């Protein structure tokens, strides 16, 4: 038993995680169901550190020093379930099984509870940063017991990304499913961020009349603003590429149907269950679905419904520069709204499950390594440092000021989208979210009246907010009854 920990599953993510651990001086046992992958890893990378290859699972487990740590990095779903089952059979009380895939937090809670009864620590761990991140430094979001983190934490922090101030992008998120929950919301925010950038691109192209190459330059210039982020870099790269076969912008030869593996759906579904509004994340997820609805798109396009407005009406000189800046501000405002929604979802779940998640710490570990890493995360980190109990990110002074600055241009952009028929659902939903939260009164009062009318669902009065009232709508003389 010589290995500090083991990695089960040597696809690109698993292999890169194992190499990262070995490069940082940890002795890593490696196992894959098909041994060819294990052999390939050893052939190509054995010199990078101390690996302990195992051809069967019993040898793999036997090679781990106690308390054992095995990190599973296999296909989410059935593959993970099977790997956990097999490992659990071979592990002893005090040992730690880590699921490093994107797993729905309710599955993690169920597995953690089942293994807890057998004395085995089960850790659901979010890992962000893609293949390159896994090798060079990901952002890591482990859940599970405090005790498991004492054994795992130092190893994970040694391989994680580091923020500019040197802090590792890894922390103990909270018990049972907290780590996978936070990773899920990270991905939901990722969906929103990507959709918002895509809407900005679409508006610049079809309303602003910019070429793809010009838009690439606009995004590049936004790196000098609050929008500086990895996803803006990725966008610039994609938009800068030309298709060698046709000479067209590469983006024009890609089929416009966005795929998804499920984490955006989970984030949205979970928000609905928790009663948290995450419209930017939901719209981003729906937008992927709408883009992939080939039959409906073809049918509606074929019906050539009169839009009442035209696309592709390029703007002239000065107006064009102003429009670019307006889109930038709309993007920034929408991004603040989207992150506020994601953090609200984490806060709500944390309260519901008693996870006690430090929201500021989540912003801190997203500053580097992960897909949503951005300069902006520094502001979120600071906002929570100043006020750990923030009711909404929108109220942090830095963001309320930014929103006030962005709102006029943001409204123009959303109006322009509506008037030209160039859809910007996430921009619009984010704006409506802010307007709902800042409204003095919402028409929800009318909804309550409607509910009480047809279903006796009761309401509260503004002059008695805790009393429960029902109105006998058909008998005006004894109009109102107080139920408690």
Half-sphere exposure of 439 (CA within 13 A, CB side): 12
Query: Can residue 128 be called a binding residue for ligand 6PG (CB under 6 A)?
Result: yes
263 is a site residue for ligand 6PG (CB under 6 A)? yes
Closer to ligand 6PG at the Cβ: 163 or 210? 163
Q: Classify residue 268 by burial, with Cβ atoms within 10 Å: 0-12, 13-18, 19+.
A: buried
Choice between 143 and 333, CB closer to ligand 6PG: 143
Instruction: List, as one string, the DSSP characters of 429-459.
Output: HHHHHHHHHH-SS-THHHHHHHHHHHH---E
Residue closest to ligand 6PG, measured at CB: 128
Q: Is 44 left (phi over 0), alpha (psi -120 to 50) or beta?
A: alpha
- Which is nearer to ligand 6PG, 260 or 458 (by Cβ)? 260
- Verify binding: residue 261, ligand 6PG, rule CB under 6 A: yes
Sign of the alpha-carbon torsion through 249, 255, 256, 259: negative
CB 334 within 8 A of CB 433: no
Note whether 270 binds ligand 6PG by CB under 6 A.
Answer: no
Query: Is residue 10 annotated as involved in ligand binding?
Result: yes
Active-site entry in 190, 199, 226, 283: 190
281: which residues sit within 8 A by CB, 6+ positions away? 188, 189, 191, 192, 264, 267, 268, 271, 338, 341, 342
Cβ atoms 138, 106 nearer than 8 A: no
Q: Does 190 bind ligand 6PG (CB under 6 A)?
A: yes
Nearer to ligand 6PG, 187 or 268 (CB): 187
183 is catalytic: yes
| Interaction of residue 223 with ligand 6PG, rule CB under 6 A | no
For residue 451 the two structure tokens come to 């509910």
Residue 195 interacting with ligand 6PG (CB under 6 A)? no
Q: Name the residue nearer to ligand 6PG (CB basis): 371 or 428.
A: 371
- Residue 102 or 416: the one with the smaller Cβ distance to ligand 6PG is 102
260 counts as binding ligand 6PG under rule CB under 6 A: yes
Decide if residue 99 touches ligand 6PG (CB under 6 A).
no
| Interatomic CA distance for residues 35 and 103, integer angstroms | 25
For residue 12, give both structure tokens: 């690109």
The residue from 112, 183, 226, 283 that is catalytic is: 183
The question of whether 190 is a catalytic residue gets the answer yes
Q: Which residues of 285-320 are buried (b: 16+ CB within 10 A; e: fewer)?
A: bbbbeeeeeeeeeeeeeeeeeeeeeeeeeebeeeeb
How many chain residues bind ligand 6PG (CB under 6 A)? Answer: 12
Q: What x-and-dash track marks residues 130-159 binding ligand 6PG by CB under 6 A?
A: x-----------------------------
**Gyration radius from the chain CA atoms:** 25
- Residues flagged as binding site for substrate: 102, 128-130, 186-187, 191, 261, 288, 451, 457
Q: Which residues are catalytic?
A: 183, 190
- Residues flagged as binding site for NADP(+): 9-14, 32-34, 74-76, 102
- Residues flagged as binding site: 9-14, 32-34, 74-76, 102, 128-130, 186-187, 191, 261, 288, 451, 457
Binding site for ligand 6PG (CB under 6 A): 102, 128-130, 187, 190, 259-261, 263, 370-371
């Amino acid at each position: 038993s010589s290995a500090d920990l083991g990695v089960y599953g040597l696809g690109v993510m698993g292999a890169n995680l194992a190499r990262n651990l070995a490069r940082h001086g940890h002795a890593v046992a490696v196992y894959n169901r098909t041994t060819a992958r294990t052999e390939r890893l050893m052939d190509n990378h054995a010199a990078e550190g101390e690996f302990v290859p195992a051809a069967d699972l019993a040898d793999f487990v036997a090679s781990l020093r106690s308390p054992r740590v095995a990190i599973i990095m296999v296909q989410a779903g059935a593959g993970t379930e099977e790997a956990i089952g097999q490992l659990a059979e071979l592990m002893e009380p005090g040992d730690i099984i880590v699921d490093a895939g994107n797993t729905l937090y309710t599955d993690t809670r169920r597995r953690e509870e089942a293994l807890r009864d057998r004395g085995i620590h089960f850790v659901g761990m979010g890992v962000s940063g893609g293949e390159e991140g896994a090798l060079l430094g990901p952002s890591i979001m482990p859940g599970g017991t405090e005790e498991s983190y004492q054994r795992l934490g130092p190893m994970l922090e040694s391989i994680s990304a580091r923020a500019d101030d040197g802090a590792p992008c890894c922390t103990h998120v909270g018990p049972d499913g907290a780590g996978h929950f936070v990773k899920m919301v990270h991905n939901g925010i990722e969906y929103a961020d990507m959709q918002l950038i895509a809407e900005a691109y679409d508006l610049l192209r079809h309303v602003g009349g910019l070429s793809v190459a010009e838009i690439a330059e606009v995004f590049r210039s936004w790196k000098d603003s609050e929008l500086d982020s990895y996803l803006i870099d990725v966008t610039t790269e994609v938009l800068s590429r030309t298709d060698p076969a046709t000479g067209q912008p590469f983006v024009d030869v890609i089929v416009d149907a966005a795929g998804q593996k499920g984490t955006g759906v989970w984030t949205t579904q979970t928000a609905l269950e928790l009663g948290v509004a995450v419209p930017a994340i939901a719209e981003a997820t729906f937008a992927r679905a709408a883009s992939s609805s080939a039959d409906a798109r073809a049918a509606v396009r074929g019906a050539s419904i009169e839009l009442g407005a035209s696309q592709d009406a390029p703007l002239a000189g000065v107006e064009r520069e102003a429009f670019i800046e307006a889109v930038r501000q709309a993007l920034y405002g929408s991004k603040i709204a989207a992150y506020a929604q994601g953090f609200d979802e984490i806060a709500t779940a944390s309260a519901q499950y008693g996870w006690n998640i430090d929201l500021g710490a989540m912003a801190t570990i997203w500053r580097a390594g992960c897909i949503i890493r951005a300069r902006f995360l520094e502001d979120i980190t600071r906002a929570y440092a100043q006020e750990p109990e923030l009711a909404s990110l929108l109220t942090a002074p830095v963001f309320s000021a930014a929103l006030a600055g962005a709102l006029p241009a943001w409204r123009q952009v959303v109006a322009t989208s509506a008037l030209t028929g160039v859809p910007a659902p996430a921009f619009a939903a984010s704006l409506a979210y802010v307007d709902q939260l800042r409204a003095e009164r919402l028409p929800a009062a009318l909804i309550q009246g409607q509910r009480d009318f047809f279903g006796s669902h009761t309401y509260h009065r503004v002059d008695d907010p805790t009393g429960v009232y029902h109105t006998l709508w058909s008998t005006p003389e004894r109009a109102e009854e107080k139920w408690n």
